[in-house]
């Protein structure tokens, strides 16, 4: 990630995702392509300007100059590569650009001060201590989302399926799914788990083990 310090934003939105509703506190900064339905409205958020140079060419102006995002044919839902401007987080000084192709629904962050571009997700939730963010993306054909937690340098600290899986009768099956991600006061990522076979649910926390590995804690057994 850019060396730009990620600060707490005052704007927080409830994100209506296909399988995830992102709940955040007022102290947490969130960008989401799920809520930015109309691009021409989102373009007005860019502090130095953003526009469609052509139908399939998006241009965003940063302190380091213009950055262009060019769609690749075929220009249709099931093929090619398509870009869309989703919004700007003033405190994080970052633009979110939606990236859609035949395999992934995701997005990239473009940092306004440095012009640096880095892979993220269609939704980005910044931690309140300004050191990490969660990126959410959706793989085509997969029931559930992929989550990645990045540090301030852009290094992935944890990456995986947003839920739990296990082999059932020799077949990989989803045991539970995660939703409602948010950062707690200790800047730890939490989420709600929901069992697929019952109404059992609860809260899990991404915590570091004594060995230094990050894993989700607090999940009870699904019946």
On whether residue 131 sits in a domain, the answer given is yes
On whether residue 219 sits in a domain, the answer given is no
On whether residue 78 sits in a domain, the answer given is yes
The reported pTM is 0.82
On whether residue 187 sits in a domain, the answer given is no
On whether residue 130 sits in a domain, the answer given is yes
Q: List, for residues 169-213, the tens digit of each pLDDT value.
A: 889 899 999 999 999 999 999 999 999 999 899 999 999 988 889
How many other C-beta atoms can be found within 10 angstroms of the C-beta atom of residue 68? 11
Q: List, for residues 141-177, the tens digit of each pLDDT value.
A: 888 899 999 998 889 999 999 999 999 888 989 999 9
Which residues form the domain of 117? 15-162
Residues 164, 168, 172: CA angle, nearest 5 degrees: 55
Residue in the structure block whose two tokens are 């102290």: 27
Q: List, for residues 101-144, the tens digit of each pLDDT value.
A: 988 999 999 999 999 999 999 999 999 887 899 999 999 888 88
On whether residue 29 sits in a domain, the answer given is yes
The total number of residues shown for the chain amounts to 223
Average pLDDT across the chain, whole number: 86
Total count of domains within the chain: 1
On whether residue 81 sits in a domain, the answer given is yes
Q: List, for residues 65-112, the tens digit of each pLDDT value.
A: 999 999 999 887 777 999 999 999 998 899 999 999 988 999 999 999
On whether residue 116 sits in a domain, the answer given is yes
> DSSP alpha helices (H): ranges in 98-148?
none
């Amino acid at each position: 990630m850019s060396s730009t310090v990620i600060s707490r934003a005052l704007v927080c939105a409830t994100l209506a995702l296909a399988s995830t509703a992102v709940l955040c506190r007022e102290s947490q900064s969130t960008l989401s392509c799920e809520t930015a339905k109309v691009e021409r409205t989102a373009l007005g958020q860019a502090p130095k300007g953003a526009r469609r140079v052509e139908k399939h060419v998006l241009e965003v102006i940063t302190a380091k100059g213009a950055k262009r995002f060019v769609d690749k044919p075929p220009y249709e839902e099931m093929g090619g590569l398509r870009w869309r401007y989703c919004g700007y987080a003033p405190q994080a000084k970052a633009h979110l650009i939606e990236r859609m192709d035949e395999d992934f629904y995701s997005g990239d962050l473009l940092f306004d001060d440095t012009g640096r571009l880095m892979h993220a997700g269609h939704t980005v939730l910044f931690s309140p201590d300004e050191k990490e963010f969660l990126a959410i993306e959706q793989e085509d054909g997969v029931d559930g989302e992929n989550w990645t937690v990045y540090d301030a340098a852009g290094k992935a600290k944890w990456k995986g399926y947003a839920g739990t899986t296990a082999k059932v009768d020799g077949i990989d099956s989803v045991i539970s799914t995660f939703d409602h991600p948010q950062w707690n006061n200790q800047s730890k990522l939490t989420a709600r788990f929901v069992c697929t076979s019952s109404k059992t649910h609860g809260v899990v926390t991404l915590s570091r083990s004594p060995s230094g590995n990050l894993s989700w804690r607090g999940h009870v057994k699904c019946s």
